[in-house]
Chains A and B, each alone.
Chain A
Amino acid sequence: MSNDMIDLAAGDVRLRQRLEAYADVRLTPELTATSRMRARVLAHAHRRADLARANAALTIVPDAASRASIERGHRSGRRAAVALIAAAILVGAMVGGAAASSGPGGALYEARLWIEDASLPSDPSARAVAELDRLADRLRKAEAAARNGDDAAAAAALGAYERIMIEASKDVLAAGDPVAAAALETGLGRNVEVLEALVGHVPPRAAAAISGAVARAIARSAGAIDTVGTVDRPSPAGGAAGHGATGSDQGGNGGGSKPGDGAAGGSGANGQQATPKPTKAAPERPEATGKPAATEHPAPTPKPTKTPKPNDQSPGGPPDRQD
């Protein structure tokens, strides 16, 4: 608590100290909480700013003269255009609304994911938080589907979860933003706990399929947490090394995923996109140059010294051999 906050009665130091201690310990947010709040608020701010910019770009303000001519000459045409635009907006809203409300495994579920992708904010930390919100939504969907024994919907939701998680990890790595990385790492850690709890709630008849998908999502989450954890490293070389290691991990997981569900698309994409990253680790090659040290072993070449006969240690040995 800052000194300018309290100046109680002149002699009442003890009450002030106790209130200060109380505020410091119990009324101060943890750093992670502050990061979360900031990232979410800024995500909202960026979204608003993007919307305002988009609205401004779409607003056309004709000058007075042209407005008059438009009104005189194109009144009927404008009515038709307005009707067409209104119809297009209506259809678009219906399709968008249907996509937005489409559930896992539904016909428009992919469209929904695409719409969500397109509307993500550009700020790294705001984007990470938005991705976490999407992940939480997929977890809720997966949980609901698992509870109903709908293994197809659960697999679709978990597949979407994995895909979003991989995209989010890649975005955070590309941005190299430590706040975004911390937010994503914390959120993914929490999601792992939710996934682990989910395994216990799967109905027996759908246990095998859903448990497999959940186990894969947990493994992928752990890999992503490792990947994102490398962002904190200050030097870009360290980050590149981390990418390489985790990229191969994810590739391995991708190979193990089933081809039929939504996870397959995500994992395949990940496997392909993670592999180029090890090339960034090229600066580490100097470590490999250490291997030539083994060539120092030729030191044993003095072995030929065994050949000289005993008691003949004088430099005149070789001439004796020549003889």
Chain B
Amino acid sequence: MTLDETAVERLVQEARSGDAWAFGLLFDHYHLPVYRYIASRVHRPSDAEDLTQLVFVKALEALPRYEARGIPFGGWLFRLARNTVIDHVRTRHDHADLESASHQPGADAGPDEVTVARQELDEVAAALATLTDEQRDAIALRFFAGLSAREAAEVMGKQEGTIRGLQFRAIAALRRQLRIDEPDTERGDDAANDGRIGR
């Protein structure tokens, strides 16, 4: 489901005036990136489900107080999501539970493929676990939630350049951990540093 910013703001206004259907459309638009961001931080799918739901309920409650004020609804929602995750991690002392986070790869894959796929996914999870909290946050917001560098900066309350730096160091660390060679193009690192992530 794709919505431009104008459509989102219109839905926000309708939801503020008590239109549950409009809020349902907002949920449809944002639930996957929000879930992905949360799931990448809490690891346990059941917690990710509960927290995603909580974020949208909090958003609904806070909607009457929401004013664009230069921050688009998506950024505001992800800020709620980030605070919710921080509270959860702080109170539950949540740790990565790779076993419970693992899903079955494609059902039609043979046993060898399943093993290989799971191993590769575990490697990615382990590589992400080596990042600092801020690097992981930046990667989760940029890659898994699909925010732009500017949006991620707003959510994390940092400068855009800081986010790019975090992202650059995170990517370098991931490459090292996953034994992926440096890209042979000369401007590869510059491109990553410039935040050439879409959106």
Contact = CB atoms under 8 A, between A and B. Distances in A.
A42 B27 contact: yes
A242 to B, nearest CB: 28
Contacts of B24: 38, 41-42, 45
B60 A41 contact: yes
A4 B146 contact: yes
28 contacts: A1-B144, A3-B198, A5-B197, A8-B171, A8-B196, A8-B197, A9-B183, A10-B191, A11-B183, A11-B188, A12-B175, A15-B174, A18-B178, A21-B120, A23-B36, A23-B144, A26-B101, A26-B102, A29-B31, A29-B35, A33-B49, A37-B56, A40-B53, A40-B57, A41-B23, A41-B24, A46-B20, A48-B61
B69 interface: no
Contact of A19 (B23, B102, B124, B184): B124
Nearest to B124: A22
Please list the 5 inter-chain residue pairs (A to B) with the smallest Cβ-Cβ separation, ordered nearest first: A11-B183, A9-B188, A45-B20, A5-B146, A4-B198
B135 interface: no
Given A5-B199, A8-B171, A48-B20, 19 more contacts: A2-B146, A4-B198, A4-B199, A6-B198, A10-B191, A12-B183, A12-B192, A15-B175, A19-B144, A22-B121, A25-B117, A26-B102, A27-B35, A29-B31, A37-B35, A41-B57, A42-B27, A48-B60, A123-B20
Nearest to A14: B180
A37 B142 CA distance: 24
Contacts of A4: 146, 198-199
Contacts of A10: 183, 185, 187-188, 191
Interface string B164-181: 000000010011001010
A27 B47 CA distance: 12
Interface residues of A, number: 40
B105 interface: yes
A49 B20 contact: yes
Contacts of A12: 171, 175, 180, 183, 188, 192
Nearest to A56: B18
Nearest to A13: B183
B9 interface: no
Contacts of A52: 18
B57 A29 contact: no
Interface of B: 15, 18-20, 23-24, 27-28, 31-32, 35-36, 39-40, 45, 48-49, 52-53, 56-57, 60-61, 101-103, 105, 117, 120-121, 123-125, 128, 142-144, 146, 171, 174-175, 178, 180, 183-185, 187-189, 191-192, 196-199
Contacts of A44: 57, 60
A53 B187 CA distance: 59
Interface string A38-63: 10111011101100110000000000
Given A15-B175, A37-B53, A41-B60, A9 B192 contact: yes
